[in-house]
Amino acid sequence: MSNNELNWYHEWHNHPRHKHAHWLILSLVLFLVISIISIELLNFGLENKNIAQAQSNRCTSNNFNGDPAWIGENNLPNSGECKQVSQDYGYAASNLAGGSPGELGGLFSRTLTRSYYGDSSLGNLTFNSPIKFSGQFAITRGDDGYIFLGFFNSQEQGWRPPNFLGFHVGADKGVANLLVDYTSSQWGAGGTGEITVGPSNGIVHNFTFDYAPTVGNGLITLTLDGAQHQLALTPEHRAQGANFNRFGVFHLARTAGATVNAYFDNLRYTTGNGEKFEQFNSDPGWEWKGNRSNFLDCETYGNQDFGYRGGNIGGLFHRIDADTRPVYYADNIPTLTQNDYLEAQGILVMTMGNADSGMQIGWFNDRFEAKEGGTLSSIGAIIEGPSAIGHYFQAAVKPSGQQFYRDSNPSASIISRNFFNASN
């Protein structure tokens, strides 16, 4: 480029008003930038002001120190649905399971009320321990009742029972069935399908249960009357771990109604100090809880029992997929829509959860629909989960007149056993 071509620039650059033009241009640019930033900040401020205004106008809090007087529909138990329950098992002088007189067994009844009978001297075993037990059993009758035999934790039973390794056996319509199963400390469960044992007419069956922790992630082999059945632990369940401090029996912890008569004898089983062999020639003096009891049980299928509990709200929730009644406990709030800002926070404590159970918390329309979701529309969270997982706490929504939607990837929201805090 020639000097002549640059003369105009040098003349302009040396002009006395040149520096004023620089400042004018800089001022205009700064003004435009500041104006844009100010508008964005103003919009952001207005948006947050609107959210804050919505929150202050509509948000409420409740520590439930007193009865909130919320509306309840079919949330409290109906005494007409209660049933008489009897547990009558433990040491027995009979010999229905073979061998000499003396055995373990009796009447086992379904109920959510805990009971067990077990040896408390075995120490503490885990999924890392080689575990075996063997013996013989007989099922004399049953109407869809089941009993668990194996290693468990005295702190909690249930369905599925946390910290369990063994099998459960029962009978219905004259046929006895057995399922090999385990559950981790975090409700992660695995099991075989039903194994047909034979008629529930008192036939004695021989079995051996062998758990090998060093085969894969842990391998269970049950030999029943000479036939083998195997079940492998998953990597996730093995990592969750389990703690067993009892060996013995307990009933199937589901809603009241079904019973089974079962007997066991000549039990040989692993302990932390070697192996024990119990022939039940006399009462072994095992630890017991609720195994000899008779009571009126109102925790029957579908007999809800939740609401205000003095200091909190909650209780027993039954999942009834085919229920024809509205079931809820809720505050009567002004009408809200999907265009409203919604927020809820608090503390959730889960003390027990049977496999495939479920409940919802959130906002809903009290117009009832007899299909999944239960109401015309809802948004919030749902607690549920398959046996292999345990329980999720996941987002769920049911738009008006549409199907019920769940979070498509809820794996990060698996609930730990016994305690879970939920906020926001």
365 located within any domain: yes
Same domain, 86 and 190: yes
- For residue 53, CA distances in Å to 158, 340, 362 come to 46, 12, 21
Which of 325, 381, 338 shows the shortest CA–CA distance to 358?
A: 381
Same domain, 84 and 53: no
Same domain, 238 and 326: no
Question: Can you list the positions of beta strands (E) in 254-377?
Answer: 259-271, 274-278, 287-289, 292-297, 305-308, 313-316, 328-330, 358-364
Q: How many CB atoms lie within 10 A of CB 32?
A: 10
Which of residues 247, 264, 297 is at a domain's end? 297
What's residue 373's pLDDT?
Answer: 55
In sequence order, which ranges of 170-307 are alpha helices (DSSP H)?
235-240
In sign, the C-alpha dihedral spanning 298, 303, 308, 312 is positive
Same domain, 91 and 69: no
- Lowest pLDDT segment from 53-62, 74-83, 143-152: 53-62
In sign, the C-alpha dihedral spanning 145, 233, 243, 136 is positive
Strands 189-191 and 175-183: antiparallel
What's residue 302's pLDDT?
Answer: 78
Q: Give me 405's structure tokens.
A: 């939607």
Strands 287-289 and 116-119: antiparallel
Q: For residues 105 and 260, is the Cβ–Cβ distance under 8 A?
A: no
Same domain, 68 and 54: no
SS3 call for 424: coil
Share of the chain above pLDDT 90, in %: 43
**φ and ψ at residue 308, rounded to 5 degrees:** -75, 135
Which of 305, 307, 316, 325 shows the shortest CA–CA distance to 370?
A: 325
Q: For residues 270 and 132, is the Cβ–Cβ distance under 8 A?
A: yes
Same domain, 355 and 401: yes
pLDDT of 384 strictly over 70: yes
Which of residues 249, 273, 297 is at a domain's end? 297
pLDDT of 301 strictly over 70: yes
d(CA 396, CA 380): 6
How many distinct structural domains can be found in the chain? 3
d(CA 156, CA 161): 7
Residue where the block lists tokens 């008569």: 261
Q: Which domain holds residue 281?
A: 79-297
What's residue 420's pLDDT?
Answer: 38
Which tens digits make up the pLDDT trace of 65-99? 999 999 998 888 887 888 889 999 999 999 999 87
206 located within any domain: yes
Q: How many CB atoms lie within 10 A of CB 280?
A: 25
Same domain, 84 and 100: yes
4 located within any domain: no
Q: For residues 296 and 109, is the Cβ–Cβ distance under 8 A?
A: no
Same domain, 238 and 273: yes
388 located within any domain: yes
269 located within any domain: yes
Which of residues 279, 297, 315 is at a domain's end? 297
Same domain, 150 and 195: yes
Same domain, 248 and 347: no
d(CA 186, CA 390): 7
pLDDT level of residue 158 (50, 70, 90 thresholds): confident
What's residue 24's pLDDT?
Answer: 33
288 located within any domain: yes
pLDDT of 21 strictly over 50: no
Same domain, 44 and 124: no
Q: Cis before residue 160, ω within 30 degrees of 0?
A: yes
350 located within any domain: yes
Q: What is the pTM for the complete model shown?
A: 0.72
Q: CA torsion, points 57, 59, 64, 66, in degrees to nearest 10?
A: 10
Same domain, 289 and 314: no
What are the residues whose beta carbons fall under 8 Å from the beta carbon of 188, sequence distance 6 or more? 234, 236, 237, 240, 388, 389, 390
The CATH number of the domain holding residue 227 is 2.60.120
* 400: DSSP letter: T
Q: Give me 289's structure tokens.
A: 């809880």
- For residue 293, CA distances in Å to 89, 93, 281, 297 come to 9, 19, 24, 11
3 located within any domain: no
Q: For residues 403 and 173, is the Cβ–Cβ distance under 8 A?
A: no
Which tens digits make up the pLDDT trace of 239-259? 999 999 999 999 987 776 789
